Amino acid sequence: MRLATWNINSVRLRINRVAQLAKTSEPDIICLQETKVQDDLFPLEAVKEMGYQHVAFKGMKSYNGVAILSRVPLENVHTEDWCGRGDCRHISATLPGGVELHNFYVPAGGDIPDREKNEKFGHKLDFLDEMINWFPANRSAEKKMIMVGDLNIAPLETDVWSHKQLLKVVSHTPVEVEKLGNVQESVDWIDAVRHFVPESERLFSWWSYRARDWDTSDRGRRLDHIWVTPPLKNALAGASVLRDSRGGEKPSDHVPVIVDLDL
């Protein structure tokens, strides 16, 4: 099974990009974040024409939104309302074989890493705290699960272009990294991409639109992740980050991350 996750930054604006990913990489499942479309306007027919007959989505106008596009049946589709805001940041489904898939869009957190001065940063920390508590209270590390999404945190020093310069920049601050680590430890999640790419190697999945030449400056961050629980560790068969997707016409500022599993 090939699984892709991608913050598409408006699925309707970039539906041709999704079609290109479907054609060139042939994922069995594509998880999207920041779809930015309310449910009645989701481009369902276009997605089905790509071969994804099983589709689950939760969206709202202009902001956030998550979706699962699948060539295999989805059961038990469910969304959790994290922090009680109704802001469409999570969707889950059960895949064949009883594997539970969770697709997240963690809040970005604004610009100032101080909850007293920046309500958005406080929201992000609260969201992570709920994740830390929810998984061990409701799920076991022995359950076959996959978590994907734009988690909006680059945890390792090699997940950012400059560890020293980004220590006080939202997405790489010590408090965020610590909380993401606590989420990972909550049910012994395994970083599926770093399972194949050594931690010593730089790896990014996001490059700012503000960069005049994103490729040359290469000031990226790895914000997009795929994790699995221990029962799926031996099923991991490969991983890739599609860096070239950051180029071309009307790109998202994120690129697809792909993991292959032998299920």
Closest C-alpha among 97, 87, 101, 186 to residue 135:
186
Residue 78 confidence (pLDDT) = 98
**How far apart, in whole angstroms, are the C-alpha atoms of residue 230 and residue 53?**
29
**Res. 207 pLDDT band, cuts 50 70 90:** very high
Exposure class string for 124-157: b at 16+ Cβ within 10 A, else e: bbbbbebbbebbeeeeeeebbbbbbbbbbbbbbb
The pair of structure tokens assigned to 104 is: 């997240």
Segments in the chain forming alpha helices (H) = 15-25, 44-49, 119-138, 163-166, 174-186, 214-217
Grouping H, G, I as helix, E, B as strand and the rest as coil, residue 223 is coil
* Structure confidence by residue, pLDDT tens digits, 142-167: 999 999 999 999 999 999 999 999 99
Phi, psi of 9 (to 5 degrees): 55, 55
CA distance 129 to 124: 9
Residues 31-41, mean pLDDT to the nearest whole number: 98
How far from each other are the two terminal CA atoms of the chain, in whole angstroms? 7
| Domain 2-261 classification at class level | alpha beta
Nearest to 134 by CA among 87, 193, 191, 92: 92
Q: Locate the domains of the chain by residue range.
A: 2-261
Predicted TM-score (pTM) of this structure: 0.98
For residue range 210-247, what is the model confidence (pLDDT) as tens digits?
999 999 999 999 999 999 999 999 999 999 999 999 99
> Quick check: helix, strand or coil at residue 10?
coil
Query: Residue-wise over 18-55: b if at least 16 C-beta within 10 A, else e?
Result: beebbeeeebbbbbbbbbbbeeeebbeeebeebebebb
For residue 118, report the phi and psi dihedrals to the nearest 5 degrees.
Answer: -145, 100
User: What pLDDT shows up at residue 21?
Assistant: 98
